Structure formats: C-alpha cells, structure tokens
C-alpha cells in the first residue's frame, strides 16, 4: 500500500505543497500536527503499526521524515528490516531494501563521522583550554557562604531551611561539604 507523510516543516515546501505533491501518488495521507522533533505520534504510529511489508511511504524531503542524520538512519534501518520503501519526491529517489542498502550503509558511516568530528573538536577545545592554564569543569565552591553554612549547621541552632535562606547554600551542597 502507498502512504504519504507530511508535517509543517517549511524548508522547501509548505504543508499545502507537500500535500499536493503526495496526492499525485496516494490519497492515504498522514499529517503530523507540529514541526517539533519530539512527540511525533503520527510518525510513530506509521512506523509501529500502519506500515507493513512491501508498503511505500512518500515524503517530499528527508527533513520531513527525520530531524538528524542519526534519526534518518534509524528510520531507514526500520524500513530495511521491514522491507518498506521510501520515496522522496523532491529528489525523485526511491530508497528501498532491494537496491539501496549501500546508501543506508554509507549514511551510517556519515553518522559515525559526524560523531567522531564532534568528539575530536571537544577534545581539542579542552586541550586548548587547559594549555592556556585554565581548569576544565565546574569550578569548586569555596566561598564564605559555604563556610557560614557549615558553621551554622555545626552549631545546631539553625534549621536547614534557615541555613538555606541566610546563605543560599542548598541542602545537597551543604551535606556534600560536611563529608569533607
């Protein structure tokens, strides 16, 4: 069976244009109510209960279907395992298990590459930061308020709420420093 999926992501086509293009292929349209990448209930329903073996899903662009390269690989892997085809109208490309496993495999390598680049840049930034004599991580709390909070606690004259109100030191921070 043929299905269409649209959502209000207006990078290339408006919602109406997406609908017009997909209606040339199928009348079985599924519309996401929002453009957010979280809580995509219509897509989840398509993937988990509607799309079956040998079905075809039509979208106008890959960005309608997925919000990241990693997300795209997850969806395409699902399609590959379940022998579902994807047709991207604006690219005029069909992505199916029968002849596009190499594309999906290459996409996986690109996701790994993106992840490696982020790790490399993060590590390089941290090394540069420490080379300049700066410390990486959250700064240690060593201020007068903390000392006052510990003294107030040890005097046993103040409640934890009173200590927090006067010193702005949370219970967790106070207990963490009492152990030292």
Q: What is the sign of the dihedral through the CA atoms of 133, 124, 37 and 64?
A: positive
pLDDT at 180 over 70: no
Could you give the C-alpha distances from 169 to 37, 107, 177, in angstroms and in order? 37, 49, 11
pLDDT at 172 over 80: yes
Among 35-49, 134-148, 166-180, top mean pLDDT goes to 35-49
For residue 106, the model assigns a pLDDT of: 84
* Local structure of 95: helix, strand or coil: strand
What is the percentage of the chain residues whose pLDDT exceeds 70? 96
- When pLDDT is averaged across residues 154-168 and rounded to a whole number, the result is 90
For residue 99, the model assigns a pLDDT of: 64
Within 13 Å of residue 157, how many CA atoms lie on the same side as its CB? 5
Q: What is the pLDDT of residues 69-105, one digit of tens each?
A: 889 999 999 998 899 999 999 989 888 876 667 777 8
Q: What is the pLDDT of residues 22-66, one digit of tens each?
A: 999 999 999 998 888 888 999 999 999 999 999 999 999 999 999
Closest listed residue to residue 44, CA positions, set 93, 14, 78, 94: 78
- When pLDDT is averaged across residues 165-180 and rounded to a whole number, the result is 84
pLDDT at 141 over 70: no
């Amino acid at each position: 069976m043929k299905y269409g999926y649209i959502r209000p992501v207006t990078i290339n086509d408006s919602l109406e244009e997406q609908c017009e293009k997909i209606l040339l292929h199928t009348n079985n349209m599924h519309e996401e109510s929002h453009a957010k990448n979280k809580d995509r209930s219509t897509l989840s329903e398509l993937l988990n209960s509607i799309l079956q073996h040998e079905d075809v899903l039509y979208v106008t662009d890959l960005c309608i279907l997925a919000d990241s390269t990693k997300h795209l690989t997850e969806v395409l892997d699902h399609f590959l395992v379940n022998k579902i085809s994807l047709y991207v109208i604006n690219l005029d490309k069909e992505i199916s298990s029968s002849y596009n496993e190499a594309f999906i495999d290459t996409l996986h390598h690109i996701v790994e590459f993106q992840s490696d680049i982020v790790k490399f840049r993060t590590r390089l930034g941290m090394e540069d930061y420490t080379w300049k004599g700066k410390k990486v991580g959250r700064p240690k709390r060593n201020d007068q308020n903390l000392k006052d909070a510990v003294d107030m606690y040890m005097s046993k004259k103040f409640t934890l709420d009173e200590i927090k109100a006067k010193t702005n030191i949370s219970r967790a921070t106070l207990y963490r420093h009492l152990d030292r």
